[in-house]
Amino acid sequence: MNYIAKLKPIPPEVEPLSEQRILHLLGTAEKAGELARRWGEDEQRAVLAGLYHDLSRDWGDEKSCRYSLEQNLAVDEIELASGTGLLHGPISAHLANKLYNICDSEILTAIRYHTTCWQSVDRLGAILIIADMVEENRGKYFLKKQQELLKKKNLFDILIELLIWKEEYLHRIKINPHNRQLEALKELQERRNLDC
């Protein structure tokens, strides 16, 4: 599938978008499609979520905060304080809708919350979060993590492990995870316990 044709030409509103970021978007789209096939989800929708999930990731904190406020995006104080780190999810969802005509609410929700997850995360959202973290352009450490994670048979078990790993990583670099991430992890673990 020619993913680049769905991305380019890059609208000026998205700039800057580095070549490395474009490679990551393409890699995430490919991995999301692969994971969707594995778990019986719509491949095209997963590809689109992967392709547009980081449209504003290369923006600086000032531009991200300004855009969020100017566009009246529904973001909280923690997201605003984090700058681009957490704001790129809601901004990228907004850009995907505005510039690429993505109207599918599940795709937009997956993009919007891929940085933190959310309590009622669905299969598409789980696929995007996982694809974002394990696509091949992430580097050797992530590739090792990918190989470990993708051995699991249950999509949400992979997501749980990934969220635990992300929480540990954030604590190591002295950043508190967003409450939404902690709540999502708790709910996913409770769901898993009920399924056993």
Question: CATH number for the domain including 158?
Answer: 1.10.3210.10
Cα 122 to Cα 103: distance, rounded to the nearest angstrom: 17
Among 115, 56, 62, 58, smallest CA distance to 91 is for: 56
Model confidence band, residue 195 (pLDDT cutoffs 50, 70, 90): low
Closest CA to 96 of 52, 129, 59: 52
Residue whose pair of structure tokens reads 């002295």 in the numeric block: 174
pLDDT over threshold 60, residue 196? no
Helix, strand, or coil here: 114?
coil
Among 39, 108, 82, 102, smallest CA distance to 176 is for: 82
Range of the domain at 101: 4-195
The model's pLDDT over 37-75, given as tens digits with 9 standing for 90+, comes to 999 999 999 999 999 999 999 999 999 999 999 999 999
Q: What token pair was written down for 151?
A: 């051995």
The domain total for the chain is 1
- Quick one: average pLDDT of 162-171? 90
Lowest-confidence pick of 3-7, 17-21, 58-62, 125-129: 3-7
Identify the pLDDT of residue 12: 93
Q: Of 189, 148, 150, nearest to 167 (Cα)?
A: 189
pLDDT value for 151? 81
pLDDT reported for residue 150: 81
Supply the mean pLDDT for the chain: 91
Q: For the chain, what percent of residues have pLDDT higher than 90? A: 76
* Mean local confidence (pLDDT), 79-103: 96
pLDDT at residue 66, as a whole number: 97
Q: Point out the least confidently predicted range of 47-56, 89-98, 136-145, 168-177.
A: 136-145
pLDDT the model gives residue 40: 94
Quick one: tokens of 15?
């700039």
Say what the pLDDT of residue 130 is: 94
Which pLDDT score, from 0 to 100, does residue 140 have? 66
pLDDT digits (tens, 9 = 90+) for 169-194: 889 989 999 999 999 999 999 887 77
- Per-residue model confidence as pLDDT tens digits over 98-114: 999 999 999 999 999 99
What 8-state DSSP symbol labels residue 13?
G
